[in-house]
Chains A and B, each alone.
Chain A
């Protein structure tokens, strides 16, 4: 079974600084998707960024970028120029492409990010 590990329960960053959230995963599949979701205090899950495993280029969405290391099974999220609105719980998630129950998402335990003014 696939597992997703987020080793940082909490992180903090100063406004305008850069922070990196870590995520590792375990899978025997070669084709899959990885996601970072943000859950602010409203508890609405918001997709931040996604990465397709067969693409070597790291995904980027404005101030958010990932460092995808397939061989190391690592998928870290970098937030540049941190803003107060970035404060939230961040979840790393995995989805396989083998079909069947593998279409479901497997989540890490989350990292609570605090942004200090």
Chain B
């Protein structure tokens, strides 16, 4: 149980276009989801906390208009990278906590390449 599904696994897009990444909790409801960015051989960097039915909370230094987050239901959060540029190329991971005392469950990640 406690599965988080993330799609797509990888995506290549042209500079200037937008890309949407989906994160779904398959067997539990997630009022909160977390979006991370990870560069090669580095740790996970929290970008934002996604809250169902309300605005996301962004970490300092993360551009809200660049990384749009929507959490429209208890099982789905989306991250849209708008007007993507090569420097946005990275590995993006989402996560959710099935219950307070449980360990966080992570999606399989999305490798974004902007050309």
Contact = CB atoms under 8 A, between A and B. Distances in A.
Contacts, number: 44
B103 A50 contact: yes
A44 interface: yes
Contact of A91 (B44, B49, B91, B97): B44
B46 A104 contact: yes
A68 interface: no
Given A103-B32, A105-B34, A91 B95 contact: no
Given A44-B109, A50-B103, A109-B43, A104 B34 contact: yes
Contacts of B91: 43
A47 B103 contact: yes
Contact of A35 (B42, B43, B104): B104
Nearest to A46: B106
A107 B43 contact: yes
B32 A44 contact: no
Contacts of B105: 47
Interface string B34-46: 1000100111101
B103 A108 contact: no
Given A101-B57, A104-B46, A108-B43, A45 B32 contact: no
Contact of B103 (A35, A42, A89): A35
Interface of A: 35, 37, 42-45, 47, 50, 52, 89, 91, 95, 101, 103-105, 107-110, 112
Given A42-B108, A43-B109, A103-B97, 9 more contacts: A43-B108, A45-B93, A45-B95, A89-B41, A91-B43, A91-B44, A95-B104, A107-B44, A108-B43
26 contacts: A35-B104, A43-B38, A43-B93, A43-B109, A44-B108, A45-B93, A45-B95, A45-B106, A47-B103, A47-B104, A47-B105, A52-B101, A89-B41, A101-B49, A101-B57, A103-B32, A103-B97, A104-B46, A105-B34, A105-B46, A105-B95, A105-B104, A108-B43, A109-B42, A109-B43, A110-B43
The 8 closest A-B pairs by CB, nearest first: A45-B106, A47-B103, A107-B43, A50-B103, A109-B43, A43-B109, A44-B108, A107-B44
